[in-house]
Structure 1
Amino acid sequence: MTCTSYVFTPEPQVSLPVAGSDERFPVGRVFCVGRNYPWPGASEEKPEAPVFFMKPASAVVEAVGEVIFPPMTDEFCHEIELVVAIGKAGAAIDQADALQHVWGYAAGLDLTRRDIQMRVKSAGMAWEMAKVFEGAAPITTVVPVAQVAHPQRGALWLNVNGQERQRSTLQEQIFSVSEVISLLSRLVPLRPGDLIMTGTPHGVGPLSPGDVISAGIDGVAELEMRVGARP
């Protein structure tokens, strides 16, 4: 058997803990959905498809301990989201079959440098760097479908220092999990290990060093983290 030689030692495989198991879920790509809940002032007409963007797997960290405060921002914001963990590959998946590709679910934070996002968005430029930085995607333990089924009605919420900032229910999603999987799989074949962060309700707000974030999705997972110091 040939041993592959690298020019430097590769980074370890990014992974997340699995509920009730010593095994871990290996993370591949991280897809994200923009504006998948009703927001005040937004059009009530359902768009033809969600807006998708990505975070690298290297942005994923376990949702425990400290939130890393990123550089180059004065408006560092939280977004609580249902995370879908894909366990079965597929392309152009029918919506009726989409949930068969789900391995499990988690809760996650899509952390954002909102000032960067708004500045470059208003100039018509890509806002990837608003979403990509160290620790930009804290995610809880992944709960297998066998334990949690397919949550569709639970509440998702986020508090900062005990004050509620975000609250909605999964049934308020503009695009359901099955729709998101089906539509995304028509753009790119899905692979085991892919994560899909399915969007956040309104109430997104800024974070300051020392803030305590508590958040969760009923029946799935909860998290508590403290915001670290500015770099």
Structure 2
Amino acid sequence: MELFSRSWSALRTAVADLPDEDFGRPSGCTGWLVRDLVCHLVIDAQDVLITLATPATTEPTRDAVTYWSVSAAPPTGEDPLDALTVRLAAAYQETWLLKFHLDDIGSAAGRAAQLADPALRVSTQDEVLTAGDYLGAYVLEWTLHHLDLTAHLPDAPPPPAEGLARSREMLETIARAAFPASFSDKDALLIGTGRRAPTDAESEALGELAAKLPLVLG
């Protein structure tokens, strides 16, 4: 849960420090500009607040890793919800409004996470998790979206190293295979989730794991 807070704080700080012109640049998410990704983070923060306020009484059905479903089809940016995010982002018009909304609701989500009992059972998407596992799953969400945010912004700060390492561990558990030791955590995440294609040398190093990639998480 501490890693959730550090990863989320780093991502929100990176957004807050972006100059206005960077919000119109491409992000690492297919079909989304940086402003669209930031709008998605607002929705993510809302989801965290809703889930932590939705207690469950039944046994957990998922944990931090099995929370994620895996698809073989990369996103195209044409999904209706993705398109809605683009329209919502455009409706802000002024960049400072989008920054303010993320800071406002994002701070609330961060405080709710710090106050949550890790053993509390919560419900989301018709599944039950402990709050600790739910927030642990979001370390991967924040880390990947931090990489998306900075994909075309070389001067923006990267995700925390510990978040990258933990996210790699989670992705390897999902893949049921380890990425080559020669891969940095960042490269393992980018290649593993299809955010960039491996080079010929990287494909050779991946061996049989290459056939399982990309792991499209949802």
> Given the two structures, how large is their TM-score scaled by the length of structure 1?
0.24
> Given the two structures, how large is their TM-score scaled by the length of structure 2?
0.25
Q: Greater strand percent: which structure? A: 1
Q: Greater helix percent: which structure? A: 2
